[in-house]
Homo-oligomer: A and B are copies of this chain.
Amino acid sequence: MCRWMAWLGQPVLVDELLFKTQHGIVDQSLHSRMGAEPTNGDGFGLGWYGGGDGPALYHSVSPAWSDANLRELASHIESPLFFAHVRAAIGSPVQQTNCHPFRHRDWLFVHNGYLGGFHAVRRDLMLAIDADRFADVQGSTDTEVVFHLALTFGLQDDPIGALERTVGFIEATAERHGVPDAVQASFGVSDGSTLWAVRYATAGSARSLFASADVEAIKRLHPDNPRLQRLSPNDRLIVSEPFSDLPGLWHEVGEGSAVTVRRGGELEHQPFRSRQAAPAL
């Protein structure tokens, strides 16, 4: 049901975190341990900042583990801020327009989870999207609808608040349709300089989510791990599942909470609550 990761820190070759890490996101595409399914083989997406105007996207319908272009890009593209996402489609078509990250101008958005009863609520949710933006929805995923709702609810001004209102609106809509598990999610968002991540479920346990800890103490504990030694206090990782070769680095993001990572590595936690609001149409 998808796995994702995000990096904000010193510029690194994407490769370093995609293929050179043990149990990195590409390995998770084949052998996820904490996901709803072990296999996330229904396409892949990479979104990165750096070079040219705005973020770049690479979307592929191939599984991440077998995509030759992904290995090429990862080993030649350097970025201080990027998302990688492996998809498990649960029913919707495997096509590039259904691959994460989704983009609007400078903003990127990824999601692990689902909207309950999406077939039932899709129309009502799409009607709530800013009418000017409606025709921008190109694929058929719940995530793209969430993203455009969030933009409608003010994502670009107040990312966490807009997502709280989006989740509240989806829950109210789902309730009208008798759907109990409206939102199951970890979300990742960025505008190119700050990174936000949310962990939330309307019902039951939310999808797993981890942030990397402050690295200084960890470097002292593991003086012989060259990969940990390379990390600086400015670097932060947000991941659906810990990489196994960076032990001790991971703090679980609590259920119903959000984190904000700013340049310099600063990490803030805050509660995340669904909020009822009408879209600002």
Contact = CB atoms under 8 A, between A and B. Distances in A.
Interface of A: 13, 15, 30, 38-39, 41-42, 48, 50-53, 56-63, 66, 68-69, 72-73, 75-78, 89, 92-97, 118-120, 122-123, 126-127, 131, 134-135, 137-140
Contacts of A30: 39
A197 to B, nearest CB: 24
Nearest to A118: B135
Contacts of A58: 69, 72-73
A139 B52 CA distance: 30
Given A41-B41, A59-B68, A97 B140 contact: yes
A141 B120 CA distance: 22
Contact of A73 (B53, B56, B93): B56
A13 to B, nearest CB: 6
Contacts of A57: 69, 72
B59 A61 contact: no
B119 A123 contact: no
B135 A123 contact: yes
A92 B96 CA distance: 12
Nearest to A139: B140
A124 B57 CA distance: 30
A42 B66 contact: yes
A107 to B, nearest CB: 16
Contacts of A93: 68, 95-97, 138
Given A61-B62, A93-B96, A97-B140, 8 more contacts: A13-B51, A39-B39, A48-B76, A56-B76, A68-B96, A95-B95, A126-B134, A138-B140
A188 to B, nearest CB: 19
Contacts of A89: 66
Given A73-B56, A76-B51, A122 B135 contact: yes
Contacts of A13: 51-52
16 contacts: A13-B51, A30-B39, A41-B63, A51-B77, A52-B78, A60-B69, A68-B93, A68-B96, A69-B69, A69-B96, A73-B73, A92-B138, A93-B138, A95-B97, A123-B135, A139-B140
Contacts of A51: 13, 76-78
A50 B78 CA distance: 11
A15 B52 contact: yes
Nearest to A120: B135
A134 B138 contact: no
A273 to B, nearest CB: 28
Contacts of A126: 126, 134
A42 to B, nearest CB: 5
